[in-house]
Structure 1
Amino acid sequence: MSLFAEFRIRSEDFALSSTLERLPDLVVEIDRVAATDELLTPYFWVSEVDLDAFESAASEDPTVADHRRLDDFESASLYRATWTGDVDTIVYAYTHGGATILEAKGQGGVWDIKIRFDGRDPFDEFKEFTDGHDIAYRLEQLYETSRPRTGSRYNLSEKQHEALNTAWEMGYFEEPRETTLDAVAAELDIARQSLSQRLRRGHHALIANTIRVTPLAEEKA
């Protein structure tokens, strides 16, 4: 049975530490991580700051290198970079079996990270690793679930799945629309901007795991 753990880690013990310190309003949300040749390349969303200020701070941050802006949206921008240091926690999770980082958000000097383990043993090994390397963190929640994580095959987070499903049920995607973004946000009891971000990132995940990986069918005569 899967085991889910939610951690809070100080930014100084994780990635983009100096950038988050220099820009207290900055919000960084990891979208996904690619692992190649023992290097970890994160794709992450940046919001709530001037992008020139972020790029200037990131260029002097020893934990990342080769950051590149990939796309801009109304409320956030997508970046890609390479982690170079102070990320032992996430490196361990991606290079050892039984651990997958589902969500990671950095803001106000801390990172909130959600990791799925394939069982108790991988979690115990992870804890032994972090304790042995003096990686400070606070375990916020630890729980099991027997229900499959809806939308996981498309790399959707639970919040993204909930937002997309609620918007669909309320007719937000109908033509003409049967409801508004504000109404969907009220139904979910979240801010309009938060809903907009979840829908955008949900669409991004769906496209990345469907259209981008599925070859076009041959056109029939």
Structure 2
Amino acid sequence: MIAECLVAEFRIDGDDCPLARATDAVPVAVDANAPQLRADGNVLLHFSAPADDRLPEALDDDDAIRYLHVTRGDDTYTFRCLSKHSCVVHELVDAGFLVESMRYDDGGATMRGAVVGYDVLRGVMETAGGTVGIQLQRVYPLRADEESPIGRAWDLTPAQEAALRAAVEMGYFDLPRSITARDVADELGISKSAFLERLRRAQQSVFGALLE
């Protein structure tokens, strides 16, 4: 039995997949679920990004994208589509990487997930390094409380869950409100705009699941 599970975060550049190409052309950050590889080699994608009409236009112009569907909200667009281009994440999964979150920006991707032991981690690094540029940004042992049932239940990224937890615990949703968005952002060590974006995305996931 392997006693140690590791949380790893990679930055990947050079993966010529549609989301990387789109964020290279349009200055937005795309939060994506793990892509689903079909038996025919095509990939099902589900992702979201700040509202910007240039992104769906860039994706629609990409020959690798088919059946693009966009749900437009006031602040966020949610996308579902099929891609004819498999990305490097499938090779990482084959090597033992358990994907938890993916963010595309500036033509690259930051991927966070788990690997079972350092031998698997080395295998994942070697697999990615053979095709794209990869940097290991963080790695640490998975704690007993790392896998939050809240995040799993409501499809939140770790950053979104942290923002939502901090907002609740600090009284951001109290009536009357006792603290400001700047107070919560300072506690998290991020900018006010980054906190509000994460909070809106977390609320969208939770409310969307409740109202669906």
Answer yes or no: same fold by TM over 0.5: yes
Q: Structure 1 runs of 4+ off > 4 angstroms?
A: none
Q: CA 1:109–1:103 in 2, change beyond 3 Å: closer, same or farther?
A: same
1:141 paired residue number: 138
TM, length-normalised to structure 1:
0.75
TM, length-normalised to structure 2:
0.78
Q: How does 1:119-158 map to 2 (within 5 A)?
A: 119-132=117-130, 134-151=131-148, 152-154=151-153, 155-158=155-158
1:199 aligns with 2:196: no
Query: 1:98-145 CA distances to partner (integer Å, 9 max, x unpaired)?
Result: 43222222222322222222333433443343345x233222233223
Rounded to whole Å, the distance in 1 between the matches of 2:14 and 2:68 is 18
Q: CA 1:192–1:144 in 2, change beyond 3 Å: closer, same or farther?
A: same
Rounded to whole Å, the distance in 1 between the matches of 2:201 and 2:69 is 18
Q: Residue 11 of structure 1 contacts residue 20 of structure 1 at CA under 8 Å; is this kept in 2?
A: no
Rounded to whole Å, the distance in 1 between the matches of 2:64 and 2:145 is 34
Q: CA 1:36–1:108 in 2, change beyond 3 Å: closer, same or farther?
A: closer
Q: CA 1:148–1:187 in 2, change beyond 3 Å: closer, same or farther?
A: closer
Q: CA 1:62–1:3 in 2, change beyond 3 Å: closer, same or farther?
A: farther
Structure 1: give runs of 5+ residues left out of the alignment.
214-221
Q: How does 1:104-123 map to 2 (within 5 A)?
A: 104-123=102-121
Say which SS state the counterpart of residue 73 (structure 1) adopts: coil
RMSD: 2.9
Amino acid in the other structure paired with 1:185: A
Q: CA 1:206–1:11 in 2, change beyond 3 Å: closer, same or farther?
A: farther
Q: How many residues align?
A: 204
2:179 paired residue number: 179
1:217 paired residue number: none
Rounded to whole Å, the distance in 2 between the matches of 1:123 and 1:207 is 36
Amino acid in the other structure paired with 2:132: I
Q: CA 1:116–1:212 in 2, change beyond 3 Å: closer, same or farther?
A: farther
1:70 paired residue number: 71
2:59 paired residue number: 58
Say which SS state the counterpart of residue 57 (structure 2) adopts: helix
Query: 1:24-70 CA distances to partner (integer Å, 9 max, x unpaired)?
Result: x222221x2363644432222223x731x222211222443322212
Deviation at 1:4, TM superposition (A): 2.0
Amino acid in the other structure paired with 2:19: L
Percent of counterpart pairs with the same letter?
22
Rounded to whole Å, the distance in 2 between the matches of 1:12 and 1:129 is 13
Q: CA 1:140–1:63 in 2, change beyond 3 Å: closer, same or farther?
A: farther
Structure 2: give runs of 5+ residues left out of the alignment.
none
Q: CA 1:41–1:197 in 2, change beyond 3 Å: closer, same or farther?
A: farther
